[in-house]
Amino acid sequence: MHTKTVAQLAQGLQQKEFSSVELTQCFLERIDALDPFYNSFISVNPSAALAAAATADEQLTRNNAGPLTGIPIAHKDIFCTSGMRTSCGSRMLDNFVPPYDATVIRNFGTAGAVILGKTNMDEFAMGSSNENSYYGPVNNPWDTSLVPGGSSGGSAAAVAAMLAPAATGTDTGGSIRQPGAFCGITGLKPTYGRVSRLGMVAFASSLDQAGPLARSAEDCAILLGAMAGYDKLDSTSSELPCPNYRATLGDSLEGLRIGLPREFFGDGLDPATGVAIDAALKELEALGASLVEVSLPHSKLTIPTYYIIAPAEASTNLSRFDGVRYGHRCVEPKDLHDLYTRTREEGFGDEVKRRILVGTYALSAGYYDAYYKKAQQVRRLIRQDYLDCFEQVDIIAGPTTPGPAFALGEKSNDPLAMYLEDVYTLAVNLAGLPGMSIPVGFVQDKPVGLQLIGQHFGEARLLNVAHRYQQTTDWHLAHPAMPKGE
Amino acid sequence: MAIEQDEIEKIAELARIRIASQQIGEVTQRITEILGMVDQLQAVDTTNIEPMANPLDATQRLRVDEVSEGNQREAFQAIAPAVENGLYLVPKVIE
C-alpha cells in the first residue's frame, strides 16, 4: 500500500480493497518503525488519525467519497491544527496547541483526508537544509548522511521514505521545490494568493505560499484541488476561481514553448546536474515542446533582494512572540523588558535571530529607503524579467537547485553558502509565480529536480507538463532503499 | 558595509532579543557578512521604479465593518503562560 500514489489509493479505498483505517494503520506502523532513521515527524497522534480514518470509512461505505476521502496526509508543522501541537520547528512554539485549524487543514478535513502527523521543518521555515529545527535535523531517505533540503524537509523526506502518501509544505524562497528535488519527489508552489495563508505561521507574508509534495504531478493536482481557493479570512487570497487541475493533465504539449533562462545554465550549476536537466528537456522536446533561450537579466540580484525583504517581513511577523499570550516564556522575568528579551533569546534559534536582526536593521530609521524600499524596487525589476519572458514562452524551465543534496553539517555554519542553495528558486516567490520541481534523474545516486515556472495562476499548465513527462519517464517512481539496520 | 558591535546591540534591543556577551562578536560578524552581500543592490539604478509590496500588485480588500467572530477569550487564555481573572499576567510595569 505504501508505494502507491494518492490516485491509486483513492481507487483502492473506493473499490473496498482496503479501508482507511487499514491504510492509516499501515503508515502509522511505518512511521513508528522507520522514522527513527529520518526524524521526519515532530508529532503523530495515532488515535486521532485512526478516529478520522474510521469516519472516512463510513463515508466510503455510503459511497459518498471524494478523491481524498480516507487518504492520510502529513502536514508541515507550520499549519495550525486545532488541539494538536503546532511547533513550527521552534522552541518558541514547543508548547503551542492552536485553538483553531488553518484553512488548508480545514479544506483537507472537508475533503475527508486524515491528518497522519506533523512534519519536521527548519525553524519558522527559515533554512534550506532542515538543520535549523529545534527537533533536530532530518535525514535524506536516499542517503541518511545528506540533508533532505528545507524548509519543508520533513514533508519531503516522509513522502520519499513512503511514511506518507503525500504531504503539505510551504515555500517562501524554495522550501517546497528544493526539498522536493533533494528527495526525488514532486512539489508545487502555487501562485501567491492561490492557497489561503490563514493559520499558516507567517514568515514573510508577501512571499509565503502553501503547496503539495507528492509522488506524482497527478497527486499534486488532486491535493492542490483541495487546498486552493478563495478564503475571505486571508486578505491576500485570490478571488479568481480554480480550474479543475486534473482535467487538463493529459493535454498535448504540441506547440508548448519552454523558455530556458541562460542565467540558470551558467557558472554555479553542477555539470552532472546540468546533464540530467538537459536530458529532461530533450524528453519534453520529444513530447512536442520547443525550447527557446531567454534571459532574466536581474537574476544575480534575487539573493540580495530576497535577503532584505524576507528578513524585514520576518522581523515584523515574529514580533508577536512576546511570552505573554502563548508559546515559550522565560522563567522568573525580573521586569517586562527582561520577559521579552530573555523569552526571545531562549525561544529562537540562531538563524531566526540573525534574520530578525537583519530585518530590524533594514527597517530601522535611516536605513529603510536604502534597504527595504530599494529591495522592493528591485523586486519589481525581477518580476518584470519574468513577465517579459512570458511574452515569448509559455513556461520557463531549468534546474531546481545548483546540485544534488549536500552533506549534513556541510553548510550549517556558513549562512551565505546556504543562501546560495536557493539561487534558482527565490525569484519565483519574489515575482509571485507558480513553480514546480519534478524528479528527472540522479547524480551519484542523489536525486535531481527540474524546475518548471508558470505564469500567474498557471498551475494547471505546469501540472500538465509535469504529468506528460511522468507518463513517459519513471524517475518519479524510484524509491530509496530501506535504511540500514532494517 | 561593516557594522559595529554597538550597532548590533542597538538593533538587538529594538528587536527585543537578548544576546549573550560571549556571542555578540560572532553575531556581529555574521550580520556584517549578510549586509555585505545585500549591498550589491546599492549599485542598481531604480530611478522612477515603484516599490512592489505585493507580487500581484493587489491592494487591501475591505469588508463590511460588522462582527463576524464570537468571543473566544477562554480558548485563547487556555494556552497563555500566565493568566488570572481573564487577564494576561506580566511582571509589574508601574511601581
Residue-wise pLDDT for A377-394, tens only, equals 999 999 999 999 999 999
pLDDT of residue B63: 86
- Nearest CB to B90 within list A191, A324, A373: A324
pLDDT of residue A192: 98
Domain assignment of residue A416, given as a range:
1-486
**Mutate which: A126, A353, A385, vs B, most B CBs within 10 A:** A353
pLDDT of residue A476: 97
* Per-residue burial over A279-300, b = 16 or more CB atoms within 10 Å of its CB, e = otherwise: ebbebbeebebebeebebebbe
pLDDT of residue B60: 86
* Per-residue burial over A424-454, b = 16 or more CB atoms within 10 Å of its CB, e = otherwise: bbbbbbbbbbbbbbbbbbbbeebbbbbbbbb
Q: How confident is the model at residue B1 (pLDDT cuts 50, 70, 90)?
A: low
Q: Which of A19, A40, A76, A237 is catalytic?
A: A76
Distance from CA of A432 to the nearest CA of B (A): 5
Q: How many domains does chain A have?
A: 1
CB A360 within 8 A of CB B14: yes
Mean pLDDT, residues B10-22 taken together: 96
Q: Which residues of B touch A430 (CB under 8 A)?
A: 55
Considering only alpha carbons, which residue of chain A is nearest residue B37? A304
Distance from CA of B57 to the nearest CA of A (A): 10
pLDDT of residue A486: 45
- A212-235 pLDDT tens trace: 999 999 999 999 999 999 999 999
Q: Which residue has the cell 535524506?
A: A140
Nearest to A344 by CA among A470, B35, A352, A75: A352
pLDDT of residue A483: 82
This prediction has a pTM of: 0.97
**Mutate which: B10, B90, B93, B94, vs A, most A CBs within 10 A:** B90
Mean pLDDT, residues B31-41 taken together: 95
Residue A41: strand, helix, or coil: strand
A326 touching B (Cβ < 8 Å): yes
Q: Which residues of B touch A307 (CB under 8 A)?
A: 34, 37-38
B25: pLDDT strictly greater than 70: yes
pLDDT of residue A63: 83
User: How many CA atoms does the CB half-sphere of A90 hold within 13 Å?
Assistant: 30
**What CATH number has the domain bearing residue A419?**
3.90.1300.10
Q: Which residues of A touch B15 (CB under 8 A)?
A: 315, 319, 344, 356-357, 360
Q: Across chain A, which distance is largest between two alpha carbons, in Å? A: 69
- Nearest CB to A336 within list B30, B50, B93: B93
Mean pLDDT, residues B68-84 taken together: 93
- Nearest CB to A376 within list B16, B53, B60: B53
* Per-residue burial over A91-104, b = 16 or more CB atoms within 10 Å of its CB, e = otherwise: bbbbebbbebbbbb
Q: Which of A151, A196, A299, A412 is catalytic?
A: A151
- Nearest CB to B51 within list A334, A364, A373: A373
pLDDT of residue A469: 98
- Alpha carbon distance A20, A307 (integer Å): 44
Considering only alpha carbons, which residue of chain A is nearest residue B3? A361
What is the share, in percent, of chain A residues with pLDDT greater than 70? Answer: 99
CB A393 within 8 A of CB A257: yes
- Alpha carbon distance A143, B81 (integer Å): 41
Is there a catalytic annotation at residue A206?
no
pLDDT of residue A484: 67
- A93-109 pLDDT tens trace: 999 999 999 999 999 99
pLDDT of residue A383: 98
B94 touching A (Cβ < 8 Å): no
A307 touching B (Cβ < 8 Å): yes
- Alpha carbon distance A454, A244 (integer Å): 17
- Alpha carbon distance B95, A100 (integer Å): 38
Distance from CA of A87 to the nearest CA of B (A): 13
Sorted by where each begins, the domain ranges of chain B are 5-43
- A299-330 pLDDT tens trace: 999 999 999 999 999 999 999 999 999 999 99
How does DSSP classify residue A370? I
Is there a catalytic annotation at residue A76?
yes
- A475-485 pLDDT tens trace: 999 999 988 65
User: How many CA atoms does the CB half-sphere of A357 hold within 13 Å?
Assistant: 31
pLDDT of residue A267: 87
Least trusted range by pLDDT, from A112-116, A147-151, A362-366: A362-366
Interface of B with A in 38-77 (CB under 8 A): 38-42, 44, 46, 49-56, 58, 60-61, 63, 72, 75-76
- Nearest CB to A430 within list B55, B61, B79: B55
**Mutate which: B40, B49, B83, vs A, most A CBs within 10 A:** B49
- Contacting residues for A412 by C-beta, under 8 A, at least 6 apart: A129, A131, A418
Considering only alpha carbons, which residue of chain A is nearest residue B17? A341
- Do A378 and B30 count as a contact with CB atoms less than 8 A apart? no
Is there a catalytic annotation at residue A82?
no
What is the share, in percent, of chain A residues with pLDDT greater than 90? Answer: 98
Q: Which residue has the cell 544575480?
A: A300
Q: Which of A128, A175, A299, A437 is catalytic?
A: A175
Mean pLDDT, residues A122-145 taken together: 98
Mean pLDDT, residues A197-224 taken together: 98
- The mean pLDDT value of chain A amounts to 97
pLDDT of residue A64: 83
Interface of A with B in 402-431 (CB under 8 A): 415-416, 419, 429-431
Distance from CA of B70 to the nearest CA of A (A): 13
**Mutate which: A360, A383, A428, A453, vs B, most B CBs within 10 A:** A360
Mean pLDDT, residues A25-54 taken together: 98
Q: Which amino acid is present at A76?
A: K
- Alpha carbon distance A235, A231 (integer Å): 8
Nearest to A197 by CA among A349, A68, A375, A76: A76
pLDDT of residue A282: 98
Q: Which residues of A touch B55 (CB under 8 A)?
A: 192, 206, 379, 383, 429-433
Q: Which amino acid is present at A342?
A: R
Dihedral over alpha carbons A248, A399, A312, A379 (to 10 degrees): -80
**Which regions of A264-342 does DSSP assign to beta strands (E)?**
290-294
A336 touching B (Cβ < 8 Å): yes
CB A171 within 8 A of CB A281: no
